[in-house]
């Protein structure tokens, strides 16, 4: 089977770039179907910081759907979300303004109890997913970023983790204590969500390199990519970041299960010239040693520490920690004996107060 991924230069005219990207792959809004745009809204840092999806990409999609006579709402579950948290994040990043400008509606993922879905997975047998996603066909709008636990994050992970509301994400982190197990758990959940997805559009306008998905450095690529298949989109975008896509554990796992293309050679890349920008990778080497060390990987992965001068004691890290390894005593403190080195604390902190301590060993070239 052949897959298509479009790559389009997006400078100032984001709407035209999005329109061209989806036109190249032959996608148009399905008639009579409700659409839900699902961006990556992990926390309150902006798209220009390389963290959240660019509101202009989402606004363009709303306008394109409306021009075709349809309607698309917008929703997501940030890290450590609770009722009201998503609205705060959407407001702080400008996403709520884009939704209003487009005449769309904001959808709260935490507003209702999750829907428990049976999963025919290798590690996950059932999972609580955001109830609203089952009322729609999904337009998945991830951000191209590095990730301290999974090396890269994109379309597949934006669905697998972002469709789990609130603290339910901790289930995946508790199960996925090595990159190999995290990949299996992510792909288990993705396999249940994949039939709901109509379109995937990658925001690669301002990406993130280094210790992503929230603590790295912004990297401007000025690209928009699109595909009807999330794995195909990840393969092309990760190759654009200078990586062999199959070095990313969840890409390897998803392709092994035939949830998309097996190789880059199965993908037709359409549109503007494909260029490679070699991303600086995370200072962790956890994902690289997974296939070599297996269950030993967590014991030799970099640890985290807290910068007390930056910590405001908000407690977001403690609430998000799946191992209950963090307490707030004026500022955050970690119980080393409980820590599973999932780096969720680093992911949800909006104040730069969580530091990943570099390892002496670096297995990445």
Q: Are residues 243 and 336 in the same domain?
A: no
Mean pLDDT of 158-182: 93
Question: Is 184 within 8 Å of 253 (Cβ atoms)?
Answer: yes
364 pLDDT above the threshold of 60:
no
The DSSP string of 157-188 is HHHHTTTS-GGGHHHHHHH--SHHHHHHHHHH
Q: Are residues 266 and 310 in the same domain?
A: no
The structure tokens listed for 256 are 């092994």
pLDDT, tens only, 12-53: 799 999 999 999 999 999 988 999 999 999 999 999 999 999
Longest dimension (CA), the chain: 57
Query: CATH number for the domain including 318?
Result: 3.30.70.20
pLDDT, tens only, 307-340: 888 898 998 888 788 888 889 988 898 988 888 8
Mean pLDDT of 95-105: 98
Residue 363's pLDDT band (cuts 50, 70, 90)? very low
* 130 within a domain of the structure (yes/no): yes
Q: Are residues 127 and 249 in the same domain?
A: yes
* 134 within a domain of the structure (yes/no): yes
Q: What is the pLDDT of residue 232?
A: 98
| 3-state SS class at 9 | strand
pLDDT, tens only, 245-270: 999 999 999 999 999 999 999 999 99
Q: Are residues 233 and 328 in the same domain?
A: no
Mean pLDDT of 165-182: 91
292 pLDDT above the threshold of 80:
no
Q: Give the lowest-confidence range in 4-18, 85-99, 302-316.
A: 302-316
First to last CA, the chain: 33
- Separation CA 26–CA 14 (nearest Å): 19
pLDDT, tens only, 139-149: 999 999 999 99
Number of domains present in the structure of the chain: 2
Q: Are residues 47 and 174 in the same domain?
A: yes
Query: CATH number for the domain including 21?
Result: 3.40.50
Q: Please give the torsion angle defined by the CA atoms of residues 257, 259, 260 and 265, in that order, rounded to the nearest 10 degrees.
A: 0
Q: Are residues 46 and 174 in the same domain?
A: yes
* 72 within a domain of the structure (yes/no): yes
Average pLDDT, the chain: 90
Q: What is the pLDDT of residue 113?
A: 94
Q: Are residues 310 and 260 in the same domain?
A: no
* 363 within a domain of the structure (yes/no): no
* 129 within a domain of the structure (yes/no): yes
Q: Are residues 148 and 219 in the same domain?
A: yes
Q: Are residues 25 and 163 in the same domain?
A: yes
Mean pLDDT of 281-300: 49
The structure tokens listed for 161 are 């983790």
Q: Are residues 317 and 177 in the same domain?
A: no
* 284 within a domain of the structure (yes/no): no
* 280 within a domain of the structure (yes/no): no
Q: Which is more confident, 25 or 356?
A: 25
* 292 within a domain of the structure (yes/no): no
Q: Are residues 199 and 75 in the same domain?
A: yes
Domain that holds residue 321: 302-356
Mean pLDDT of 195-218: 97
Q: Are residues 139 and 262 in the same domain?
A: yes
């Amino acid at each position: 089977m052949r897959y298509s991924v479009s790559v389009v230069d997006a400078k100032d005219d984001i709407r035209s770039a999005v329109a061209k990207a989806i036109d190249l792959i032959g996608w148009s809004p399905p008639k009579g179907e409700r659409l839900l745009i699902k961006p990556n809204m992990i926390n309150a840092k902006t798209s220009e910081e390389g963290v959240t999806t660019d509101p202009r990409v989402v606004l363009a999609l709303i306008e394109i759907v409306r021009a075709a006579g349809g309607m698309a709402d917008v929703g997501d579950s940030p890290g450590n979300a609770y009722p009201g948290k998503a609205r705060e994040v959407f407001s702080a990043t400008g996403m709520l303004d884009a939704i209003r400008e487009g005449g769309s509606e904001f959808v709260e993922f935490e507003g209702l109890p999750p829907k428990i879905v049976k999963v025919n997975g290798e590690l996950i047998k059932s999972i609580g997913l955001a109830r609203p996603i089952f009322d729609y066909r999904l337009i998945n709008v991830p951000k191209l970023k590095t990730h301290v636990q999974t090396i890269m994050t994109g379309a597949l992970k934006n669905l697998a983790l972002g469709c789990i509301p609130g603290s339910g994400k901790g289930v995946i982190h508790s199960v996925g204590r090595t990159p190999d197990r995290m990949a299996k758990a992510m792909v288990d959940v993705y396999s249940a969500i994949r039939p709901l997805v109509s379109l995937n559009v990658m925001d690669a306008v301002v990406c993130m390199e280094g210790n992503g998905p929230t603590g790295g450095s912004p990297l401007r690529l000025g690209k928009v990519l699109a595909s009807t298949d999330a794995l195909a989109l990840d393969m092309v975008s990760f190759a654009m970041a200078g990586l062999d896509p199959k070095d990313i554990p969840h890409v390897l796992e998803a392709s092994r299960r035939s949830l998309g293309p097996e190789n880059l050679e199965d993908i037709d890349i359409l549109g503007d010239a494909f260029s490679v920008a070699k991303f600086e990778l995370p200072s962790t080497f956890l994902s690289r040693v997974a296939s070599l060390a297996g269950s030993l990987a967590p014991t030799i992965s970099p640890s985290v520490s807290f910068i007390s001068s930056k910590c405001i004691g908000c407690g977001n890290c403690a609430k998000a920690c799946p191992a209950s390894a963090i307490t707030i005593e004026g500022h955050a403190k970690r119980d080393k004996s409980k820590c599973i080195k999932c780096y969720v604390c680093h992911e949800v902190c909006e104040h730069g107060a969580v530091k990943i301590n570099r390892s002496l060993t670096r297995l990445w070239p």
